[in-house]
């Protein structure tokens, strides 16, 4: 082994002195990557004497947050906390930079690190925004994280936007920008700098094929807030979800609409997901809850005869394991023959949810596609299906009823799947 070589797991971020096929910490295979010249003695880039403080003088102090977009403030719990570190993740082209630019123009004294695009390229895209708000933003193409924090310490801004964390590098570690070590160490420098100077840091991060932020998992442990921007690039809807938040609730969702002038907050998100809706076999309507907000979404199913010995089950936006369970319930409790059928399930609009109140609509869509009969157009069905094919009442029942009626649909919570199919198909 070369002198100074280490092996770092790209999944959990732990480092080892020798390579192995399986990470001893997280158990993942083929995730250990070699990093040469890595010296643990130099891992601390900011040496300082420890300072011990009492909370007595901090009690009762008002926490003044930075106000951004209204929908983003709701997710963060009232705005950005000074000194907080935030990671904004999402697929390429989903609108991360556009959202970060919208947040930056709402806060005065903002520095924007343009690591992926030149300032002239950002200026072309920023023409859609209000010019008055852009005057408060200072742009830089510097990607040396040590030089960056040294310069900002002289005149600290209120917000630092890094686009993206994969472009920064720390010269004390001999590896290329975007590597596991550089992502972790650059984020560590920014995290310490944010806590020391009370500058809020918003870091944009790429995601992997499985939808997680690229780089070591320790990046998510270092920061205070982790936001994910989701949706289909071809569609107009974008969902901002908080998977981690030390200063507010988690699980909240904000819906944006991609317009010619950038991202705009959707006044009624259900209209976006139901835009162009047509009644046909294999389609049903349901109401789910994300955080404290109800959404009306459409569920599509396609059932076709399989050409293989093992039928396929595919789910987009829905838990695949749950789909297998519901298919088994439909076969054993409702007498449907699905073992020789391929089943494809899709949540319209790129929405992904784990709300089990969608079970009844999933079963209705599969039955509708199998029978080639469309359910009533005005019907909105919801409820969790158990192993006995009975439908259970979900949480926030009354709020779902009110949301469904407000949009002009008929709410329906059946007692069982047999009752549901009898009502829809006779």
Q: Residue 52's pLDDT is what?
A: 80
Sign of CA dihedral 328, 331, 336, 339: positive
Nearest to 347 by CA among 207, 237, 212: 237
pLDDT by position in tens, the chain (length 426)? 445 577 877 666 677 888 889 988 888 888 787 766 545 444 444 456 777 877 676 655 556 889 998 889 988 988 999 999 999 988 888 889 889 988 988 887 899 999 888 888 887 777 766 555 566 789 999 999 999 999 999 989 999 999 989 899 888 876 778 777 788 889 999 999 999 999 999 999 877 655 566 565 667 888 999 998 887 776 677 888 888 899 888 877 888 887 777 777 777 666 666 766 778 899 999 998 887 788 888 999 999 999 888 999 999 989 999 999 999 999 999 999 999 999 999 998 777 888 899 999 999 999 999 999 999 989 999 999 999 999 999 988 999 999 899 888 999 999 999 999 999 998
Percentages of the chain per state (helix, strand, coil), in multiples of 5: 30, 25, 40
The three-state secondary structure class of 332 is: helix
Q: First vs last Cα of the chain: how many Å apart?
A: 72
Task: Report yes or no: 318 and 362 within 8 Å, Cβ to Cβ.
Answer: yes
**Hey, which CATH number is domain 271-425, 3.40.50.1100, 3.40.50.1220, 3.30.230.10, 3.40.50.150?**
3.30.230.10
Cβ contact 152:160 at 8 Å:
yes
Domain range summary for the chain, segments of one domain joined by +: 6-40, 66-267, 271-425
Pair 198, 82: CB distance under 8 Å: yes
Q: 241 in helix, strand or coil?
A: strand
**SS3 state at 171:** coil
What is the reported pLDDT for 44? 46
What pLDDT score does 216 carry?
56
The per-residue pLDDT for 2 is: 46
CATH superfamily of 66-267: P-loop containing nucleotide triphosphate hydrolases (3.40.50.300)
- For residue 234, the model assigns a pLDDT of 67
**Domains 66-267 and 271-425 agree in fold:** no
């Amino acid at each position: 082994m070369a002198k100074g070589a280490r092996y770092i797991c790209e999944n959990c971020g732990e480092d080892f002195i020798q390579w192995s096929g399986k990470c001893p910490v997280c158990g993942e295979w083929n995730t250990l990557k070699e990093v040469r010249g890595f010296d643990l003695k130099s891992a601390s880039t900011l040496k300082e004497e420890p300072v011990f403080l009492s909370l007595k003088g901090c009690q009762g102090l008002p926490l003044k947050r930075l106000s951004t977009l209204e929908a983003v403030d709701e997710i963060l719990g009232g705005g950005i906390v000074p000194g907080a570190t935030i990671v904004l993740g999402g697929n390429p082209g989903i609108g991360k930079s556009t959202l970060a630019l919208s947040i930056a123009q709402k806060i005065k004294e903002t520095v924007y690190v343009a690591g992926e695009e030149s300032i002239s390229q950002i200026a072309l895209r920023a023409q859609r925004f209000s010019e008055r708000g852009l005057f408060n933003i200072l742009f830089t193409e510097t990607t040396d994280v040590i030089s960056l924090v040294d310069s900002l310490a002289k005149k600290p801004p209120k917000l630092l936007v890094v686009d993206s964390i994969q472009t920064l590098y720390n010269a004390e570690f001999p590896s290329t920008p975007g590597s596991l070590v550089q992502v972790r160490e650059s984020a560590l420098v920014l995290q310490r700098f944010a806590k020391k100077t009370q500058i809020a840091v918003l870091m944009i991060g790429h995601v992997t094929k499985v939808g997680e932020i690229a780089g070591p998992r320790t990046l998510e442990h270092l920061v205070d807030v982790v936001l994910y921007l989701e949706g289909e690039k071809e569609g107009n809807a974008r969902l901002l979800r908080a998977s981690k938040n030390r200063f507010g609730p988690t699980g909240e969702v904000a819906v944006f609409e991609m317009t010619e002038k950038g991202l705009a907050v959707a006044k009624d998100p259900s209209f976006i997901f139901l835009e162009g809706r047509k009644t046909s076999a294999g389609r049903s309507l349901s109401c789910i809850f994300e955080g404290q907000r109800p959404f009306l979404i459409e569920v599509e199913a396609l059932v076709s005869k399989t050409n293989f010995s093992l039928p396929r089950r595919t789910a987009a936006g829905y838990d695949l394991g749950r789909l297998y369970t519901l298919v088994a319930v439909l076969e054993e409790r409702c007498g449907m023959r699905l073992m020789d059928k391929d089943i494809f399930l899709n949540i319209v609009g790129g929405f992904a949810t784990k709300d089990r109140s969608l079970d009844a609509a999933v079963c209705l869509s599969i039955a509708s596609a199998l029978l080639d009969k469309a359910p009533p157009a005005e019907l909105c069905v919801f409820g969790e299906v158990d192993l006995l094919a009975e439908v259970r009442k979900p949480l926030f029942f009354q709020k779902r009823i009110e949301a469904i009626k407000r949009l002009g649909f008929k709410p329906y919570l059946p007692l069982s799947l047999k009752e549901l199919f009898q009502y829809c198909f006779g």
